[in-house]
Amino acid sequence: MPLFCHIYDCVTAYIFKKMALPPYQTTTKREDTKKTNTIYPLLRYFFVTSRQIKNSTEMNATEDIVFSRNTVEFVTVAAEFCAYLERSNEHSRKEFVDTLLKLLPLLYIKAQMLPDEERISEDDLEDFVSEDSYEVMRMTIFDMLADKDSYLDVFVNDMKYSDTPITKSISEDIADIYQDIKNFVCLFQLGINETMHDAIIECNEHFRQYWGQTLTNTLRALHDIRYNTSLDDEEEEGNEL
């Protein structure tokens, strides 16, 4: 709680105790009328004005997070990431891999800059990415990567029960990341400060718990596709056909 809010609460409680007046009481016994008429208007003005300032202070704290430079930069990268994936079928496999190798590290860096705060509301935030939208995104990426979609991963929970690496899917990983980021972008586009604030906090939580690790795993697989396979030769063969 801001320092002013704490001082305000203490001072208000002290005045009410000394005056023996509950908030907004307008009448007292006849013998106290003169004292009340003199002091109460000032007390009421202090109470109302201070409450307005307190609410304004809390709102400013929310706006500071929502419109901070780190948040704006993350939103910008997140929106570009989603927009690119949604038109990914317009690009070749090499262009797709090259672009993701630039967008994913940037998304990771900007996510690390998000504030670590508490949510304002306890209500669940709305989901905008449906199962059908998720599946369309996954299949689009799978069709593009084809035989390059699968990779071996050791940074998964199931690995503790296995003696061999687990096979993962780049298209599924990217679709998982897209789902979280797209939900965040859509919530931010609503333009409601409290919702935008909670969307930032939830996205940061999911980054730390889920899609941050998924992103780094996928990045390793994409790096291998880009620099340890001959994408240029494959594309030339495909063009000849």
Number of other residues whose CB lies within 10 A of the CB of residue 192: 13
Question: Whole-angstrom Cα distance, residue 12 to residue 42?
Answer: 12
What band does 43 get if pLDDT is binned at 50, 70 and 90?
very low
pLDDT at 9: 56
Range with top average pLDDT, 34-38, 140-144, 227-231: 140-144
State how far the alpha carbon of 14 is from the alpha carbons of 5, 28, 29, 105, 194, in Å. 14, 19, 21, 54, 32
On whether the CB atoms of residues 222 and 170 are closer than 8 A, the answer is yes
| 3-class secondary-structure state, position 118 | coil
pLDDT digits (tens, 9 = 90+) for 61-84: 677 889 899 999 999 999 999 999
What band does 34 get if pLDDT is binned at 50, 70 and 90?
very low
Which residues, in sequence order, are bridge partners of residue 153?
166
This prediction has a pTM of: 0.71
Arithmetic mean of pLDDT, 99-112:
97
Pick the CATH number of 67-240 from 3.40.50.300, 3.30.70.1050, 1.20.120.1550, 1.10.3720.10: 1.20.120.1550
Question: Whole-angstrom Cα distance, residue 32 to residue 133?
Answer: 70
